[in-house]
């Protein structure tokens, strides 16, 4: 079995699900999320699999997929974060945020 067939067994891309981002097959957990937990948060592959009740092979496949397409996935993640930040800057505070500010005396 080739590496590509193993990965496609564990990773899927479906238009309309997670914005078409690659994800663990049968789950709504993005490859980028797995990579962030492992690389940036220091959570082990085994812990990630256990936390989300995923097959260990699926988490390894997600990391393989990420490493094969790292530049593209990192670019899309940065673009998504930039959009969120822009929306935060241009939106009015929620009623809860306003109440918290009033309590703090801001």
Look up residue 54 and give its two tokens: 């995923």
Cβ–Cβ contacts within 10 Å for residue 11, how many?
A: 19
DSSP state of 18: G
Buried b / exposed e along 55-89 (16+ C-beta atoms within 10 A): eeebbbbbbbbbeeeeeebeebbeeeeeeeeeeee
Mean pLDDT in runs of 10 for the chain (106 residues)? 70 92 95 97 98 96 96 94 87 85 85
Statement: the pTM of the whole predicted model exceeds 0.75: yes
């Amino acid at each position: 079995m080739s590496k590509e067939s193993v990965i496609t067994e564990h990773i899927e891309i479906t238009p309309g699900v997670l914005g078409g981002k690659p994800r663990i097959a049968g789950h709504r957990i993005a490859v980028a999320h797995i990579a962030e937990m492992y690389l940036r948060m220091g959570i082990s592959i085994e812990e990630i699999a256990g936390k989300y009740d995923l097959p260990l092979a699926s988490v390894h496949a997600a990391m393989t997929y990420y490493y094969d397409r790292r530049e593209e996935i990192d670019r899309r993640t940065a673009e998504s974060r930039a959009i969120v930040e822009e929306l935060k800057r241009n939106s009015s505070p929620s009623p809860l945020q306003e109440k918290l500010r009033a309590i703090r005396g801001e």
